[in-house]
């Protein structure tokens, strides 16, 4: 699993850095194209994928879906590197772009760039979806299938060790290639080398996934393996149910109605929406100033490579510490760490951006201020992105383990693929309105972006608190816990005290109550 996550994270880090480099530094483009790409490119593609994935899940098993999706992505990245990018000057619609710029308001220049540079738009959408589909849906879906709830708090954070090493290596890889030449032809050669490496990693992903599936199937059928490798009774029941050919399967509309009625899914959806909105607002503000500091593709890619390496190091440190944090501050504290960091760092960053763009500074002071602001924004990006993947994401995945198979499969697809993209789309819609009002000037947008940022961070924290209060930390004995089972049935042993996955203890007499919180031992009722 570590090797699998390493390869998938390497792909994600590489294409994520490249997508911004390609669209932001393209001819006639800039960071103002990102809001339009999110709404009119990534969101429709995510909705289309959700529909196709839900339909395909009725006919194909998880292994076939995994292999098919990865193959499509690898094929596209290869074609882009060797066919589309080398010929982009001949196939892009520059004439259409000039006509649209003359006919449309200045605030829609990002939309014009999106249409004009259509091959770059396709790459941006594919790279954006890989993070949601490849990592969130495919990898974590596999992990949820083969990991028990007892193992999750320790193993899930440590899965990311391979991913963080991949981030560091991918970042250094991008940085080293970014220093070779600065012209368009030089960048085309760099892009071929980078995306060919990505394709090779994709092949390794397919091979490792095949091995994992064969080993897991063999262990389940033989009943062998160590106690930690064997599924819990609840997981055995879920796995055995997957092997049965169902006479009737629920329709897509029935599945959607079921997910809407699930309070856990609703809370997770709010968290995903808020996360998408807040990070998108921060990213656009930061990358606008980064483009001012690094105007060429090679410089931009090199800077993003350094950021990726820093993100890998910080994420690795937090992942090593996360098992301790789960025991010390509980699920609520870990899940709420990311919005807290965004609030603490985001508000000062937006204030500094307003000062730079609206108040104005002397030229020499302005140049130094821009450099400092970009570096501070990069540090905030690193810390918040690291907290998301090392703290928030494992906490979110723990909720899925206890849900039934339909909620885990379709609910996770809806939240991971569409939820975050819908949040980004809402943020991008706001930015499009502000671009029209401000005629494309960032200074007019920043105060409104900051206000929306604060509002959605607060909603994010409220969703975490609600999920923790009602499902992760039940207050009454009759309330079913987040795993969907009562304390008497699954979490309490017959002879001795047992520790649950968050460090709380449940006694063999079945006692449960308000004190059943992370890090707290339940008092014994035995006389």
Where do the structural domains in the chain lie, given as residue ranges? 2-219+262-472, 473-518
Write down the pLDDT at residue 116: 94
Summarize pLDDT for 390-415 with one digit per residue, the tens: 788 788 878 777 677 766 666 776 67
Give the list of residues 6+ apart from residue 34 with CB closer than 8 angstroms, or none.
20, 23, 24, 110, 280, 283, 284, 287, 428
* Per-residue H/E/C for 206-268: HHHHHHHHHHHHHHHHHCCCCCCCCCCHHHHHHHHHHHCCCCCCCCHHHHHHHHHCCHHHHHH
Short-list 472, 476, 454, 475, CA closest to 464? 472
Q: What is the per-residue pLDDT for 291?
A: 87
Residue 108, both tokens: 């829609």
Helices 109-116 and 94-103: crossing angle, nearest 10°?
A: 160
Give φ, ψ of 178 to 5 degrees.
-65, -20
With a CB cutoff of 8 Å and minimum separation 6, the contacts of 460 are: 270, 271, 274, 275, 278, 338, 339
Cα–Cα separations (whole angstroms), residue 126 to 8, 174, 256, 429, 491: 14, 19, 25, 20, 42
Contact predicate 465/475, CB 8 Å: no
CATH of the domain spanning 2-219+262-472, picked from 3.40.50, 1.10.357, 1.20.1250, 1.10.20? 1.20.1250
The residue ranges of DSSP E strands in 363-439, in sequence order, are none
Q: How confident is the model at residue 498, as a pLDDT? A: 36
The predicted pLDDT at position 69 comes to: 94
| Angle between helices 263-293 and 297-335 in degrees, nearest 10 | 150
Residue found by looking up tokens 């003359």 in the block: 102
Q: What is the DSSP letter of 521?
A: B
Please give the distance of CA 418 from its chain centroid, rounded to a whole number: 11
Q: For residue 377, which of 309, 274, 454, 282 has the smallest C-alpha distance?
A: 282
| Confidence (pTM) | 0.70
Residues 459, 461, 466, 471, CA torsion sign: positive
Q: Is 179 helix (H, G, I), strand (E, B) or coil?
A: coil
pLDDT for res 421: 60
Dist. CA 339–CA 341, nearest whole Å: 5
Which parts of the chain register pLDDT below 70?
A: 149, 151, 153, 156-158, 160, 178-185, 219-260, 359-365, 402, 406-410, 413-414, 416-421, 440, 470-527
Cβ pair 167, 9 in contact under 8 A? yes
In sequence order, what DSSP letters do the residues of 77-107 get, joined into one string? Answer: HHHIIIIITTTHHHHS-HHHHHHHHHHS-GG
For residues 127 and 123, give the distance between their C-alpha atoms in angstroms, rounded to a whole number. 6
Task: Please tell me the distance from the alpha carbon of residue 28 to that of residue 24, in angstroms, as a whole number.
Answer: 9
114 closest CA partner among 46, 33, 39: 33
CA dist., res. 91 & res. 57, Å (int): 36
Q: What's the pLDDT tens digit per position in 124-152?
A: 999 999 988 888 788 878 887 777 767 67
How many angstroms separate the CA atoms of 309 and 197, rounded?
17
Other C-beta atoms lying within 10 Å of the C-beta of residue 372: 12
| H-helix or E-strand spanning residue 499 | strand 498-499
What are the tens digits of pLDDT across the range 21-34? 999 888 878 888 88
């Amino acid at each position: 699993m570590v090797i699998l996550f390493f390869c998938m994270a390497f792909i994600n880090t590489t294409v994520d850095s490249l997508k911004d480099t390609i669209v932001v530094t393209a001819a006639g483009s800039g960071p103002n194209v990102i809001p339009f790409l999110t709404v009119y490119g990534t969101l429709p593609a995510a909705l289309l994928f959700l529909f196709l994935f839900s339909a395909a899940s009725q006919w194909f098993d998880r292994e076939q879906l995994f292999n098919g999706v990865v193959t499509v992505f690898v094929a596209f990245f290869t074609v882009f590197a060797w066919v589309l990018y080398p010929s982009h000057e001949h196939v892009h619609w520059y004439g259409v772009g000039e006509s649209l710029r003359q006919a449309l308001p200045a605030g829609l220049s990002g939309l014009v760039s999106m249409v004009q540079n259509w091959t770059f738009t396709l790459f941006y959408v594919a790279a954006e979806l890989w993070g949601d589909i490849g990592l969130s849906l495919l990898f974590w879906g596999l992990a949820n299938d083969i990991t028990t709830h007892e193992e999750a708090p320790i193993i899930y954070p440590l899965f990311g060790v391979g991913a963080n090493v991949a981030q560091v290596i991918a970042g250094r890889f991008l940085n080293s290639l970014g220093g070779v030449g600065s012209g368009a032809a030089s960048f085309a050669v760099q892009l071929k080398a980078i995306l060919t490496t990505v394709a090779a990693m994709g092949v390794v992903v397919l091979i490792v996934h095949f091995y994992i599936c064969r080993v897991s199937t063999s262990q389940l059928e033989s009943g062998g393996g160590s106690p930690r490798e064997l599924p819990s009774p609840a997981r055995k029941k879920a796995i055995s149910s997957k092997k049965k050919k169902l006479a009737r399967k629920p329709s897509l509309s029935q599945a959607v109605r079921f997910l809407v009625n699930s309070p856990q899914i609703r809370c997770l959806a709010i968290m995903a929406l808020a996360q998408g909105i807040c990070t998108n607002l921060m990213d656009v503000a930061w990358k606008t100033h980064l483009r001012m500091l690094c105007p060429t593709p090679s410089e931009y890619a090199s800077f993003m490579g350094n950021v990726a390496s820093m993100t890998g190091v910080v994420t690795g440190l937090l992942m090593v510490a996360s098992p301790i944090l789960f025991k010390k501050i509980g699920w609520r504290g870990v899940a709420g760490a990311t919005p807290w960091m965004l609030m603490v760092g985001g508000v000062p960053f937006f204030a500094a951006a307003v000062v730079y763009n609206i108040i104005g500074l002397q030229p020499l002071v302005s140049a130094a201020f821009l450099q400092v602001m970009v570096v501070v924004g990069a540090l905030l990006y690193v810390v918040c992105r690291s907290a998301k993947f090392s703290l928030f994401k494992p906490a979110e995945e723990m909720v899925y383990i206890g849900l039934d198979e339909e909620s885990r499969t379709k609910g996770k697809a809806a939240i991971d693929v569409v939820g975050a993209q819908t949040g980004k789309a809402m943020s991008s819609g706001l930015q499009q309105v502000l671009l029209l009002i401000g005629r494309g000037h960032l200074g007019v947008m920043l105060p409104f972006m900051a206000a929306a940022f604060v509002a959605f961070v607060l909603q994010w924290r409220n969703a975490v608190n609600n999920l923790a209060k009602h499902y992760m930390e039940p207050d009454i004995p009759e309330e079913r816990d987040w795993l969907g089972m009562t304390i008497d049935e699954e979490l309490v042993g017959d002879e001795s005290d047992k520790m649950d996955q968050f460090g709380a203890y449940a006694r063999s007499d079945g006692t449960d109550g308000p004190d059943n919180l992370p890090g707290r031992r339940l008092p014994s009722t035995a006389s």
